Chains A and B, each alone.
Chain A
Amino acid sequence: MSLDKDQIHKLATLSRIAIDEATLESVGERLSAVLDLVDQLQAADTTGVEPMAHPLQTTQKLRDDVVSEPNHQEAFQTLSDSIHDGLYLVPKVIE
């Protein structure tokens, strides 16, 4: 399995990671090596096997519909330098 440049660009877009054109080839080679490893799965006979998403076969517990967490907005927003009136500032999205 080897990935072409278009596929790597697509993955970079899906992952929201900028990839330097100069490293595209080496990134592709290493991704392809991992996908070769992963391709060993295709040889396994999994006919009729139920997929296992999680080790625990439990159902989610329900809790009473009451407020259990106070509002931490102020504490959380101390982590960002780009705050204005309690809002996070990002580059302009709408003209």
Chain B
Amino acid sequence: MRLASSILFAALATTFASRAQDLRGAPAELAAFVREHCARCHGEEETEADLDLVRLVRAAPDAADAAERAADWLDVRDVLSDCAMPPEEEPQPEPAARANAIEQVRTLLAALKTGLGDDPGRVTMRRLSRVELANSIRDLCGVAIDPGELPADDLAYGFDNVGDALTLSPLHLEKLAAIAERVAATALPEPDPATPGALRFLADQLTSSLDGGARGESLGLYTNGVASCRAALPRAGRYRVAVTAWATQAGDELARLVVRADDRAVDRFEVAATRQEPGVFTVEVDLPAVVTLGAAFVNDHWDPQNQDASRRDRNLYVQGIEIAGPLDPREPTIAERWLAPFEPSRGTPFARARPVVRELLRRAWRRPGKAKEVDRLARLAADTTSSGDTFRGGLRAALAAALVSPSFLFRVEPQARPASAPVDLDGWALATRLSYYLWSSLPDDALLARAKGDALRDPAALLAESRRMLLDPRADALATNFAAQWLELRKLDNLAPDPDRFPGYTKELGHAMRRETELLVRDVLRTRRPVRDLLLADHAFVDATLARHYGLDDVAPDATNGDFVRVELSGRRLGGLLGQGSILAITSHPTRTSPVRRGRWILDAMLADPPPPPAPGADSFPPQARLDTPADMRAQLARHREDAACAVCHDRIDPLGLALEGYDPLGRTRVGDIDVAGRLPDGRSVDGPEMLCQVLAQGRAFPRAVLHKLFVFALGREPRPADAIALDDALAALPDPPTLEDLVLAVPKLSAFRRRGPASNQESR
């Protein structure tokens, strides 16, 4: 058998002489290493993890299954690099031998990569996700739309911007058309009305962050909480916000009211007013066009023993919120600003519309419009005008049409000619890929200026442009869109912890948790910290709600105003992702923690190596399994792992999750003596959260996972083996340890990012 395949190898080696040349010698040495350290479990006596290294070593370097072999070799390289194999109880190779083997695998991979060709892979034309659409409209027109108006985008590979899953139905289109017309009306308005309007939300129209509470003429905040309303204003501008409120008093200070616009505290008041004579608390403030206004009660106090029955309970009652305005003269809208230079005052409507439309298309479609396209929309504007509308009205129609056009709604990339060859993206398509990657939005003026011509195709120019864009606030989308999906933060929106067992979860707390994680990601990115700080940070960003939730009130004195502040933790709790309420909550059941979910989340999000799903029928605990205490849970999981079929994965999953058992389903530290010890299959100990984070932060596994997720987000597809090799090369070229910024900037450098594969070479997975 061995002889036969050697002969076969020799025969094939002749055929692939030039390629085999590079490998000659290397396989023999590598084969010896594999025989000594790997083969017994992976090929000879067993084929654990479905990996037959004996066969892999002997495999001929023909191209047929190059992709599969590359994937296997990548695994081998990973476990060797991370010292995850051979298992601890087995004899370990000398460090030099290990390094040598890794180097040989690399050489092999490099050869395989050549065999895999330079196909940059195919990216299915992507419809803008609803978040990207909202951002694009915001940046193009200065108009806020609520992404929730559109049907949810279906996820693929954990992300909502994957072309294949971004389908488009009549329901979408109907809503997109309505949105386009509404946006056009706001972006290109007729002049402001002579008298400003007012919008009033009464108590029964306000949303309370608390469960229950008095309702009626006033909304009662019986503990710290916020009464809020989401208002769609005629435009961004200056408004007078008036909160009508009164309070009952207790303790030595008056009830305090904080008026908030979105997450921002805009003013604070002491409320002495009484039910009989409610007070009106007024503040003038600049607001965005769509805003959540809140009246927050921030200093709850209860003094049940007080002699005076009327001074036992400090509560705030909100009767209403009124927003009047806009008070300031109307600034030109963003759209008006960029179209102004292109709007000649004379000529036929068609002639006047043409230059405006040309500029509109360059911006909205991220490329110059063709003469035919420009004329079409200019004609629409002219026809609308001549049918009785104003010229402005005509431009509105053209803008709306540009926004429902596929050239806006889809990220169209030019096709290879001939269709069988990969093609370099032109400057426009490259700029578009870059801006949706870094900003989740369309290119700005500066980027469009560089998109023209070939400037961006120079890798150095692309990098410089990426750096510029990362300094822009729009790059926060990497935290609020990319990371929120990568880390599954959107699950917080639908979280429903059992209030009987784990009281205290409010929408407000959920938002604060999400924000905390986003702020950590943003901070690590902006301050160019190593990506591993996401796991190892010893500080946290908290607002008052979160500080209280974590029991950090004492170190977060400034957090009482509703803003987020950075607090140093000095080891009091974990500052990294795994100590954050967001992650701990989304990986719990409503009634209990789930070490399995937590472990699975770590494997997927932190290591990009999710375990397969359990077999049907093997995915529940036995009847009446006791899971009430961490000790019960640990015992139950241990019993579960006695089944070898379960142990295959759960030996890997459970210790990760069990290390976090010190945190309850809301991420609060649990009291009592909780066993958090565990050992990974490779023998490393993960006794408790700190050690777990240290283990995860070691080596390249975590940066590699982040890079993997960035790749999926940037390109809307999973990395194929050729991509995985390229990603690994990219990672190897980065400083050690890499910063999050390094990783973000590594993706646009990839050939797969700058080029586009032939359409005919569709992958069907």
Chains A and B come from one and the same complex: no
